[in-house]
Structure 1
C-alpha cells in the first residue's frame, strides 16, 4: 500500500485509539463501543490503523467491524477462542460478537473498518448469488436477528485484494465524505465479490466451519437428489471451482462425491429390490443408471451377489 497514506493514517489513528483506550480501557466484559466514537457527521464508515499494543476489554460494538491484517499477526479472541489472522486475512464481525483484539506488539497492525449496516446496502445489491456473505449481510438488516456472527477468510496476502482494500482506505480517508460515500460502498461490494470467488478460504464462522456446511449440504443433496445429483450443481450453488469442492468433500468425508453418490444409489437399489416387485432394469433406472450392465457389475462388486439373487436371499430371510 501507499506508504505516505499508511504513515498519515498511523499518526491519525494513534490519537484516535488513545481516546478509545481512555474511554473504554478499564471497562468490564459487556462493554459496547459506540459508533459515534468512530464516525463523524454523516459518515457511514471509517477506517483506522490499529496498532496491536492497544488493549481493550472484551466488548462488542453497535456497528459492523471489518478487520484486515495489514502487517504481522493479528489475534482476536471470541468466546475464549483465538482467531489468528496473517497478513492479508480478513475478519468480519456483526455487532453482537463479543471479542477483543489481543495485544501482540506494534509490529502487528490491522486496518479496521467501522461501518453502520446502511453502508452495506449497495454491496449486498451487487451480490447476485447466495452465499455465507449474503446471508451475513442480510442478517444485519433483520430486526429479529441478534445472533453473533463472524466470517474469517485466510487469503494468503493476495495482491488483488490488497489493491481493493487500499482503494477503500483512500476513499474513506478522503475529507469529502459525500463525494466518496458511493465509491466506498461500491469498492466494498467489489471486495465482497472477490471474497465470494474464494469461499473455500473461509476458515470458520460463529456456528460451524464452512467445510462442515458444504459437507452437510452435499449429503442432504445426495440424499434427496441421488438419481440426478451432479457435483457441478453444488459447485455452482457455493460458487466454488470443481477441484476446490472435490477437495473439501474428500477431506470432510474421506470419500469423493462420486463414491458418496454411488453408495447412496446402491443402498436405495437394495431397498427397492427387497421392498418392491419392480424389475431390476427399472430399479437401475430409478437410481440413476441407464447402463444395465454397469449397474449389474457395480452391484455385484458391492454385495458379492447379483441383484436378482440379492432379492431372493433377503426375501427368504424375511419370510416373504
Structure 2
C-alpha cells in the first residue's frame, strides 16, 4: 500500500507540468487573493472542513510567505530545504515541522523524488486539544501562543521523529484517510490528529523550537479546559475560585494571553457548539439555544447572525439545500 501511494505521489501534477514547460515560478493567485503573500486556507479547504492535506508543489522556489492557518510539513520521501524566520532547516524523510500563522518561511525547489505533504489545519480545530493538555509542554505553549497571543509571534516546532514508528503510522493513516474520503473520514482524521498531538508531546525531547514566549501557561490551559467542559453554565467567578485566583487577576491574565476576555471565549465556544448542533441534529432551535447556555433567544439570534451572517434558521435552511 505504501509503495503504491509513493508511486501515486511521484506523478507530475498539472501545476507542476506547467511549471516545467513554461516557467520556474509559482502563480500566486493559486494561493492567495492578497497583495502580501499570505497563503489562504480558503484556496484548499472548504468551509465545513478543518483539516486537509496537499502535496507540496515541486520544481519551483516558494518565495517568503505566511499562512492564515497552522501548517505542518511532513517529508514523505526525500527532503525539504527551507528558511524559517532566520533559521535554515533541512527537513529529512519522516520529520515534521509545525508552523504557526505568524512566521515567514521560504522554500527551495524540490526535486522529483522529494515528496512533501502539507497539512492545512484551521486554528479552531485545536480548541478541543486543550481539554487534555493538562501539563506544560512545547506543543501546548506553541498552540497557546500561536492561536491566542496578540503579539503575533512567529513560531515553529521541528520534530526529528523519523524513527518513532507510532508517529509515522499515525501520519500515514491521516494521509490515507483524507485521500480516501470514506464514510466518517473527517471524524477519523480528527481522532488521529488528536492522537498524533499526544504522541508528539510524549516525544517532545525530539523537538527543536523557537524560544517560548511568556504565558501563564497553567492558568490559561485550565481556563480553556474549563470553558470547553462547562460552557453551558461557566462563570469567571466559579473558575477563579477553582484556580484560587482573584477573578480580576485571572481575567487580566486571560486577556493578556489570548487577546480575548473570558466572556468572549465563552461566547465563541457556545456559538461553535450551537453551529455543530444545527449541522448534526434536527433538534429544535429553541432547544439548542438552551443546550448551549442561553436563555435570551433574541440575544442569541443577534450574536449568531453577527458571527455567521445569517440566523440559525437561515443557517439550517442553507444546509438543507446543500
TM-score range, shorter chain: 0.5 to 0.7
Is the aligned partner of 1:46 residue 2:52? yes
For 1:192, the equivalent position in structure 2 comes to 197
Contact 2:102–2:146 (CA<8 Å) still a contact in 1? no
Q: 1:80 to 1:142 in 2, by over 3 A?
A: closer
TM-score, scaled to structure 2: 0.56
Q: 1:130 to 1:100 in 2, by over 3 A?
A: same
Q: 1:134 to 1:80 in 2, by over 3 A?
A: closer
Counterpart among 105, 108, 119 of residue 99 in structure 1: 105
Counterpart among 138, 148, 160 of residue 154 in structure 2: 148
Bigger radius of gyration among the two = 1
Q: Deviations over 1:152-180 (max 9, x none)?
A: 0112343221110011112222335x832
For structure 1, the 5+ residue unaligned runs are 209-320
Contact 1:123–1:185 (CA<8 Å) still a contact in 2? no
Q: 1:80 to 1:138 in 2, by over 3 A?
A: closer
How do 1:108-119 and structure 2 match up within 5 A? 108-119=114-125
For 1:37, the equivalent position in structure 2 comes to 43
Q: 1:126 to 1:5 in 2, by over 3 A?
A: farther
For structure 2, the 5+ residue unaligned runs are 20-24, 213-322
Q: Deviations over 1:255-279 (max 9, x none)?
A: xxxxxxxxxxxxxxxxxxxxxxxxx
Alpha-carbon deviation of 1:75? 1.1
For 1:3, the equivalent position in structure 2 comes to 3
Alpha-carbon deviation of 1:68? 1.0
Q: 1:181 to 1:118 in 2, by over 3 A?
A: farther
The ranges of structure 1 where at least 4 consecutive aligned residues each deviate by more than 6 angstroms after the TM superposition are 16-20, 25-29
Counterpart among 180, 184, 197 of residue 185 in structure 2: 180
Q: What RMSD in Å do the two structures reach over aligned CA positions?
A: 3.1
Alpha-carbon deviation of 1:147? 0.9
Q: Deviations over 1:134-161 (max 9, x none)?
A: 1112233316241111100112343221
